[in-house]
């Protein structure tokens, strides 16, 4: 196979076969841990673990919080002096604000019969502060407890409340178990009232989540929009459908679905499912992850073109394309690979979903959030006006995965249907610098020199892989600090060595649980750190491979006679179509 063209064709076919095999293997393995019956998981508070710390009020991405107080009346004592209604040591039992526990007046008190009073939660006024829950637990039966209301919750991929919860009381549950009840764990300080007035206990009604229906709509929209873009850029070579798709994506996936339907964030769910047998990935999330990859293998990065709301937002604001130097883009283009590696590392160890935590655009879509991230998103949009898609090119951790499959796609974007005349217009128009100029790297070398160069690469690449694995392994203990259990263990050890007069919320929650000891926590942390060492070596080897291959690609010399598209980096935006003079009679 001496002909270079035949050799490239053989390698392309081989790569496509490997890609198809990788997708099928991932599908087969993931389906073993895919929830088909429970198509979605939801965040819920375990009342038995909750310490009513007050963070649910302040740290939810929604204002007011999606956490509300639930009153389990079947275990309530209907007390005249209710610890959840009145403050401690009140002088008068009246509704004066200084006597009430609730700061917003969300608890309504009504007389039933002597000596019993009924307490109802006005949900619209409840802010989830948990003050009544704390009082009820301290002086009553614990009938009041906090719970996440599914009709309000955005069901974020990484719940901010779960991240900051000091007691680890917030966890994912399948839709069939959407609400934890308090009856089984409530205290029994006061007996159940024996009503003589014929009082009937009201039934508790909870709004079941309607996410499964929206999941079908989301997947249908995803497939429809990617198909529309593929038809436009592959078949028709026109750009207006990309702009239309971008606007639809921003409105639907962005503002209407508040950026929560995210194929980028699904990387973490898949990583956690592959590394943790106890985690079941919803089928919806698996499809979110796989469908853009399948389309990338078939048609290139049509998902990036305008279906992804993050890319679409940058696309519609882009006016001018100032070119960055090759040295700058080569260095910055490594960051998405590192971001991907660390995202997988922290996800597979069940430590943190950093893709969701540092999403710069979700605050814009939700019209609220952490100010630093919103400002970062605004800065990226300002840069997007003058240079093409900085987030997609230099930050997005999903882009490297799509670029691997897009590089060998079956149907690839073509700038023109006629022969290129090397006018340079398409190259200047490309916002992501994905069109390669002719005659670059045209230095010829003898066969012996080429063989020597390849041998040097074969020696250099394994050294980079080993160096990356060793470096990450040495840093694994520091990375493990991202895990909540590891941080808790460090606090417990510090407290055992030097007891603190005022304990943190985490320590209060830990010492308040009778079924967990320091020794058990130490054993759990040892296993977590072992996982970090193992996965850090793998991720480090991956980093070394990426850096090594990048350096090799920069030193590779190849002759090109015409302008052609770098299929790995092309985002299928279609800008080049209308700049090519050869398309004037077809566009």
Residues 55 and 199 in one domain: yes
CA distance 510 to 493: 12
Alpha helices (H) along 422-446: 425-429
- Which of 266, 247, 369 has its CA nearest to residue 309? 247
Given a contact cutoff of 8 angstroms between Cβ atoms, the answer to whether 180 and 147 are in contact is yes
CA distance 189 to 77: 8
In a domain, 441, yes or no: no
pTM check: above 0.75: yes
CA dihedral 549, 554, 557, 561 (to 10 degrees): 110
Residues 396 and 485 in one domain: no
Given a contact cutoff of 8 angstroms between Cβ atoms, the answer to whether 508 and 492 are in contact is no
Residues 333 and 264 in one domain: yes
In a domain, 172, yes or no: no
Residues 269 and 349 in one domain: yes
CA distance 396 to 359: 9
In a domain, 433, yes or no: no
In a domain, 513, yes or no: no
Residues 218 and 331 in one domain: yes
Residues 309 and 403 in one domain: yes
Which residue shows structure tokens 């996440």?
Answer: 148
Residues 488 and 405 in one domain: no
CA distances to 59, 98, 237 from 128, rounded to whole Å, are: 11, 19, 53
Q: In sequence order, what are the residues at sequence separation of 6 or more whose Cβ sits closer than 8 angstroms to the Cβ of residue 71?
A: 119, 120, 121, 143, 144
Alpha helices (H) along 475-500: 476-479, 484-497
Instruction: Give residue 142's pLDDT.
Output: 85
Beta bridge partners of 120: 108
* DSSP annotation of 204: P
- Which of 121, 114, 128 has its CA nearest to residue 72? 121
Give residue 274's domain range. 4-39+212-422
In a domain, 376, yes or no: yes
Residues 68 and 147 in one domain: yes
Q: In sequence order, what are the residues at sequence separation of 6 or more whose Cβ sits closer than 8 angstroms to the Cβ of residue 346?
A: 268, 352, 353, 354, 479, 482
Instruction: Give residue 222's pLDDT.
Output: 96
Residues 236 and 329 in one domain: yes
CA distance 542 to 554: 18
Given a contact cutoff of 8 angstroms between Cβ atoms, the answer to whether 148 and 170 are in contact is yes
* 182: its two tokens: 């308090």
Supply φ then ψ for residue 471, to 5 degrees.
Answer: -65, -45
Residues of the chain with pLDDT under 50: 1, 36-39, 184-185, 586-587
- Which of 136, 148, 149, 145 has its CA nearest to residue 71? 145
Residues 29 and 53 in one domain: no
Beta bridge partners of 67: 148
Instruction: Give residue 311's pLDDT.
Output: 94
Q: What is the pLDDT of residues 347-400, one digit of tens each?
A: 999 899 999 989 999 989 988 888 899 999 999 999 999 998 999 999 999 999
In a domain, 580, yes or no: no
Instruction: Give residue 446's pLDDT.
Output: 67
Instruction: Give residue 585's pLDDT.
Output: 60
Instruction: Give residue 426's pLDDT.
Output: 85
* 14: its two tokens: 């081989």
In a domain, 509, yes or no: no
Coil, strand or helix: which one is 528?
A: helix
Domain tally, the chain: 3
């Amino acid at each position: 196979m001496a002909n270079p063209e035949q050799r490239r064709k053989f390698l392309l076919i081989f790569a496509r076969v490997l890609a198809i095999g990788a997708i099928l293997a991932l599908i087969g393995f993931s389906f073993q841990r895919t929830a088909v019956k429970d198509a979605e998981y939801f965040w819920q508070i375990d009342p038995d673990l909750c310490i009513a710390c007050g963070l649910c009020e302040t740290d939810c991405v929604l204002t007011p919080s999606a956490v509300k107080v639930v009153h389990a009346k079947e275990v309530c004592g209907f007390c005249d002096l209710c610890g959840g209604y009145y403050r401690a040591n009140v002088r008068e039992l009246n509704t004066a604000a200084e006597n009430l526990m609730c700061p917003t007046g969300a608890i309504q008190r009504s007389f039933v019969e002597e000596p019993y009073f009924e307490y109802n939660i006005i949900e619209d006024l409840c802010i989830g502060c948990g003050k009544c829950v704390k009082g009820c637990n301290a002086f009553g039966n614990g009938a009041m407890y906090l719970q996440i209301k599914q009709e309000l919750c955005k069901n974020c991929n990484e719940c901010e409340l779960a991240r900051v919860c000091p007691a680890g009381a917030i966890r994912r549950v399948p839709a069939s178990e959407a609400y934890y009840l308090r009856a089984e764990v409530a205290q029994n300080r006061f007996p159940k009232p024996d009503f003589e007035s014929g009082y009937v206990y009201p039934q508790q009604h909870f709004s079941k989540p309607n996410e499964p229906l929206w999941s079908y709509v989301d997947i249908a929209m995803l497939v429809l929009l990617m198909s529309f873009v593929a038809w436009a850029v592959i078949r028709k070579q026109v750009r207006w459908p990309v702009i239309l798709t971008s606007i639809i994506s921003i409105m639907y996936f962005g503002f209407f679905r508040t950026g929560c339907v995210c194929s980028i964030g699904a990387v973490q769910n898949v990583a956690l499912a592959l590394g943790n047998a106890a985690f079941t990935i919803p089928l919806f999330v698996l499809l979110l992850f796989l469908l853009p990859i399948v389309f990338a293998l078939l048609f290139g990065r049509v998902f990036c073109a305008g279906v992804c709301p993050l890319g679409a937002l940058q696309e519609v604001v882009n006016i001018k394309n100032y070119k960055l130097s090759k040295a700058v883009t080569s260095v910055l283009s490594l960051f998405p690979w590192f971001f991907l590696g660390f995202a997988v590392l922290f996800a597979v160890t069940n430590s943190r979903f950093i893709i969701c935590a540092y999403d710069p655009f979700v605050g814009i879509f939700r019209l609220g959030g952490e100010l630093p991230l919103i400002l970062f998103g605004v800065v990226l949009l300002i840069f997007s006006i003058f240079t093409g898609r900085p987030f997609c090119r230099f930050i997005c951790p999903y882009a490297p995965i799509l670029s691997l499959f897009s590089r060998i796609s079956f149907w690839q974007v073509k700038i023109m249907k006629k022969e290129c005349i090397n006018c340079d217009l398409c190259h200047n128009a490309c916002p992501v610098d994905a069109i390669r100029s002719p005659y670059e790297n045209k230095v010829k070398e003898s066969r012996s020199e080429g063989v020597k160069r390849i041998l040097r690469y074969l020696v250099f690449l394994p050294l980079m892989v080993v160096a990356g694995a060793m470096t990450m392994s040495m840093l694994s203990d520091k990375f493990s600090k991202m895990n909540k259990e590891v941080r808790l263990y460090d606090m417990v050890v510090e407290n055992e060595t030097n007891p603190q007069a005022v304990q943190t919320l985490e320590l209060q929650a830990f010492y308040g649980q009778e079924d967990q000891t320091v020794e058990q926590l130490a054993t759990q942390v040892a296993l977590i750190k072992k996982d970090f060492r193992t996965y850090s070596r793998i991720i480090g080897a991956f980093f070394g491979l990426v850096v090594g291959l990048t350096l090799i690609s920069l030193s590779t010399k190849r002759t090109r006679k015409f302008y052609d598209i770098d299929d790995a980096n092309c985002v299928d935006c279609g800008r080049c179509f209308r700049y090519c003079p050869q398309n004037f009679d077809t566009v």
